[in-house]
Amino acid sequence: MSLFPIFLKLAGRYCLVIGAGTVGESKIQGLIEAGAAVRVVAPRATPAVERWAATGEISLFRRTFEPADLDGVFLVVAATNAHELNEHVFREAEQRGILCNAVDDPPHCDFYYPSIVGRGDLQIAISTAGHSPALAQRLRRELEQQFAPEYADWVVRLGRVRRGLFRRGMDPERRRRLLHRLASEERFEIFLERARPGGERIGQASIMKGKVYLVGAGPGDPELLTLKGLRLLESADVVLHDDLVTPEILEHASPAAQVINVGKRCGRKTFSQTEINQLMVSYASDNRTVVRLKGGDPLIFGRTGEEIEALREAGVKFEVVPGITSALGAAAAAGVSLTDRRLSSAVIFMTGHRRAGDNSAGPCRVSATGDALPPTVVVYMPSDYAAVSEELTAAGWRGETPCLVVSNASTAQQTTLLTTLAELPQIPQLASPKLLIVGVVLEAAPASSSASGSVFVSQPLIPRM
């Protein structure tokens, strides 16, 4: 016979137990713990049952069973040592449509008591359909070794997070994926490590320490996040993000995560680099999973080298998760290839900001003259257009070389401005984050090539000679 496994809500429901000996005592205790309104009928009772009656936890009737005892009862347990009486209780309950369990008498049971592994609201029930209670008990003992007591608190925490996600009204499929990740063994090991500062071992699995993930957020569109980056963001304990990471991406952070803006914009600093390093080390040392979220790719002008050095010196585990660098998002906005083999022999990434006191020559010193095809230059965070134009012109770049400024690449606010190297100093500043692309590959970009936003042409492009 196939059984239907369910967990019943008994709070406030009348449940009857016939018999108050050792076996009946265990059944009564389980019903009390489930919040049932327990009635007990028995001529004699164990001291524990007598105490429950004295404190009002149960109603005890010191007499033999009468069929009227079943009136208004939701379920009944026959736990006497008299087989005939237990069978009689079962028959009377059957006539009234009341669920009955005659202890150790499978043919006279509507339901069986499973062996239970209980960790608070987490319950694991084991049943052999009455064939071998001894096997069920052995399996229970084995499972009790596998499931730490801390599961009780963890289940409550998962419940709070789940309710928070439903209140946010997020996409059901995304919510399902996130809840599965939060319930992973890895996440429990992190939770367990915090609960046990000494760092014990559970079974064969060692407890995971805190870790920092240096994650690239891409140019701005949440759909350009990598799957790994999204998974880590959805399950992080702490998210330390740059100022230019879009709100749409931050919406994917776990609702239980602490989200901190540590970014810099226009020279304004919320946190110094030293303070950011200290935050990463501190949270990881507290056995938390930290996502250091950076716009674009973390290894391109993201000060990741300094952060890696700080993490190594502190002995903190870390991992770099690449992202789509903003230059690629900007090129996609322009609809051009940065390395068109017919037009450009190389691509150079440079930044419009350098460390204070750094007067070294930048990549713009690469000449555009000679027999080789000229490179394409991408300038991150351009601010001084005149300086870029002057440096490139001095290196032999022609004034008619196309230039494209892309603001908020890949987002709904994306704006592009197409001009030439000679006219670059006169164009208006677009909103950050922005990039500047310089090179003849832009000659293939029509004025309508932007995927979204607006395109402005300050001067018709001069065809390449």
What are the residue ranges spanned by the domains of the chain? 14-113, 148-208, 209-324, 327-457
CATH number of 209-324: 3.40.1010.10
Pull the structure tokens for residue 194. 């915090």
Percent of the chain whose predicted confidence (pLDDT) is above 70: 86
How far, in Å, CA of 276 to CA of 306, rounded? 10
pLDDT digit string, tens, across residues 46-71? 999 999 999 999 999 999 999 999 99
SS3 state of residue 378: strand
Per-residue pLDDT, 449 = 38
Percent of the chain whose predicted confidence (pLDDT) is above 90: 49
Per-residue pLDDT, 445 = 62
Which residues are part of the catalytic machinery? 242, 264
Per-residue pLDDT, 3 = 83
CATH number of 14-113: 3.40.50.720
Environment class of 163 (CB within 10 Å of its CB; exposed 0-12, middle 13-18, buried 19+):
exposed
pLDDT digit string, tens, across residues 391-446? 999 988 999 999 999 998 888 888 889 999 999 999 998 888 889 999 998 886 65
Identical topology for domains 14-113 and 209-324 = no
Query: Is there a contact between 208 and 190 (Cβ–Cβ < 8 Å)?
Result: yes
The average confidence (pLDDT) of the chain is 84
pLDDT digit string, tens, across residues 13-42? 999 999 999 999 999 999 999 999 999 999
Rounded alpha-carbon distances, angstroms, from residue 82 to 19, 90, 95, 105, 324: 10, 13, 21, 11, 75
- The model carries a pTM of 0.59
The answer, yes or no, to whether residue 368 has pLDDT greater than 70, is: no
Per-residue pLDDT, 184 = 83
CATH number of 327-457: 3.30.950.10
Per-residue pLDDT, 200 = 43
Over its C-alpha atoms, the chain yields an Rg (Å, rounded) of 35
How far, in Å, CA of 263 to CA of 105, rounded? 69
Mean pLDDT for 87-91 is 96
